[in-house]
A and B are shown apart, each in its own frame.
Chain A
């Protein structure tokens, strides 16, 4: 597209031929009013607010759908443009109620702003106004559809971005209504973005309803730590409380969207279950004490149990994956300084001897440019919504997507093929794909693939990968507890290498990339988490750990931690009965948005953030607690004034990696495999305490899905409990597989 010159309001402006006029005026800072136009959505041109005068055209033209051409002369402010904009404004206001005083959008409303400039003081409309009866569309979005001006942004968002057409226009003219098609309401995992795109108060945030005006809050830039993306957000605060979260634009990370989990989890911050004061356990009863007393008690406990008897290797540190880069770093530094390498964050992995190790080597924005993807073992849409969104964009522009899953999931894009394969056969299938890839490229097939049979499926999958110039293999979370997890990851690595594909490892969660970067991994002589639990350690430092949710071997973990002569220091942001039972000291720490720190996303991008609010009551940011703990232990090298100093130290360290198994095992095993996962809104402690999220359809997912044959084998029926989760007989699940999505704490994990 060539550069051309056009004239806007008498000024010469350079632009590219074919650009829409409104994109040029936006870039040049010329204000053109609009409602239906949104830079990330398709052009509808149905509000007519952006009418401008184009010389030569008999009538005013909508700027959002007028492509520019060389020599075009445009007037955005002349009489003709202004008159038509005013006329449109009057028309839009005919049916809009004058209820700004009770409308939550008041103060941040596009209609209000534009009406101030283009509206008339007095209405000439004396007829009755239109009234629309609202329907309840779920726990997250409040509707007041009488206020709707039919810009259809929400409808287009549903179709184009969320991939589910949940809202739609019915009726015509005066009778037109924007409403959900289904009585169950909105179920998309990105639904909250409709609140952001709605230019009026028709769609507003339900948890935030009637609480505050936009002008009362401070907006602090922040990073959401719920997934591997690290979406950029604004935390809007009022009197030291996070009151609302909205998306912040960052094209290389989250564009302009955020997931509902990022948007609504803040509710958990003010939950009554927050741990607020330091506590110590004296002779079996909890006592609330001052920080210095609690810390002294902790140090004495460590000294008695570990240091005085010279068994530093009997100290272990475990952290949940939501901790910040700095917290991971400081905790591992303390452990390494006192001479222990028992450090781990992979609490949810069943078998660490066969843990996944696979580098991601594609950027998030790069995902849009791929022409083929193979997704293995992931319900991507609910687990990593923003990554799924990028793949969807690629798919819409022509990329084909193949899936290998243990269960058929709802993808919001068209799949090239969906292969439902039981977990025990995943490795064998991938081995088949590798064999096909090697055969296609005439490379000698190694011995371990000799017995593997190449089927139609594997040939097709392999062909697609080999033929595509820019393909990616996505390895998902469901694989982590597959007995052949490491083999699967290694096979993916091999396939990627020989088919010239990139890889994306989404098997880890939250901020675990930061844990790896900070070296929060067991050292050469250190124990991994599962080894620690059986090694009879004398003391633990636990960072925001909730065993019933976080550990794969939760029963074993609770037992190990409850051991009488084990001294447990728990840094927690929320109260938990089990935690109080086994801990000896409880130190209250800041939760999300209450601490400064950094998130490392899947492409290795470090995003630092400041605290938006102070932690409630006596709770303190964990990095400060760890620093003081180190000072009290008289360890050298902990002179940090702020968390940024820690960050810069981390970045100058060489990264320690998990040791991993490089062998490949492709044998098919015939036993029942369980894929055990927290449901999407139960993945971290903050989301679990967010009431509105829990009230959604996704929040209530709690089932052990299996097909009839497997149910028969396990001798369970529909709605029975299997491992504490209701059974759902579902033929979408592959044979010999139970897919568990639990939203509550569970004890029995195999």
Chain B
């Protein structure tokens, strides 16, 4: 009973509306922030999930072992993997494609990976060039489907950044 009376009073005095307007009024006099992108950039969290990359071990061996857990966990079915027995008897991929149009950048592939092979980097500035399957691979550019070689190239180029972000985030894991 007493509660409904309280609510009635609140509603008719427009208390919530006035609460909101108070913040608006305060912001009117604050200093404005404008980032001059692309000259200026805001800082990015180490957990940012941008373009994918496949990593290598320091000795140059690719990490991916074709366990296909990322393919299984991917909610958008964006990953396609084919595997084989490589000449040295190890389990390796022959194909590792990510359809970036399908990808929703959820980061599940990264989480599922037992060897930290597939990662999402902080790169978000890229364009899709050429045909859909990325056949005419001009340097550092790709179609909507990014292939194993291209993923490895992204990884090779940005290993320092990937390593750094992983290190920064490690204390919270």
Contacts and interface: CB of A to CB of B under 8 A. Distances in A.
A244 to B, nearest CB: 14
Contacts of A640: none
B162 interface: no
B114 interface: yes
B69 A211 contact: no
A190 B67 CA distance: 29
Contacts of B114: 100-101
A212 B71 CA distance: 12
A101 B85 contact: no
Interface string B51-77: 000000000000001111100100000
A101 B84 contact: no
A300 interface: no
Contact of B67 (A102, A209, A215): A102
Interface string A564-584: 000000000000000000000
B72 A101 contact: no
B83 interface: yes
B106 interface: no
A252 interface: no
Interface string A205-226: 0000111110110000000000
Contacts of A209: 85
Candidate in B67, B69, B115 with the most chain A CB atoms within 10 angstroms: B67
B91 interface: yes
Contacts of B91: 102, 210
Contacts of B83: 210-212
A163 interface: no
Nearest to A209: B85
A102 B113 CA distance: 12
A106 interface: yes
Nearest to B69: A101
Contacts of B90: 102
B153 to A, nearest CB: 24
Interface in A271-327: none
A212 B90 CA distance: 14
A100 B83 CA distance: 15
B72 A106 contact: no
Contacts, number: 26
Interface string A174-212: 000000000000000000000000000000000001111
A102, A106, A215, most chain B CB atoms within 10 A: A102
A619 B83 CA distance: 28
A124 B117 CA distance: 27
Which of A100, A209, A212, A213 has the most B CB atoms < 10 Å from its CB?
A213
Contacts of B65: 101-102
B59 to A, nearest CB: 18
B68 A210 contact: no
A210 B72 contact: no
A102 B90 CA distance: 9
Contacts of B84: 210-211
Contacts of A212: 83
Contacts of B69: 101
B162 to A, nearest CB: 20
A492 B72 CA distance: 59
A211 B91 CA distance: 9
Contacts of A211: 83-84
A213 B68 contact: yes
Interface in A66-116: 100-102, 106
A216 B68 contact: yes
A346 B6 CA distance: 98
A213 B85 contact: no
A212 B65 CA distance: 13
Nearest to A104: B91
B69 to A, nearest CB: 7
B43 to A, nearest CB: 35
A216 to B, nearest CB: 7
B87 to A, nearest CB: 12
A210 B66 contact: yes
A209 B84 CA distance: 8
A209 B85 CA distance: 7
Interface string A226-255: 000000000000000000000000000000
Most B CB atoms within 10 A — which of A101, A106, A216?
A: A101
A106 B68 CA distance: 10
Nearest to A98: B114
Contacts of A106: 67
Nearest to B86: A210
Given A102-B65, A102-B91, 18 more contacts: A100-B67, A101-B65, A101-B67, A101-B69, A101-B114, A101-B115, A102-B66, A102-B67, A102-B90, A106-B67, A210-B66, A210-B83, A210-B84, A210-B91, A211-B83, A212-B83, A215-B72, A216-B68
6 contacts: A100-B67, A101-B115, A210-B85, A211-B83, A212-B83, A215-B72
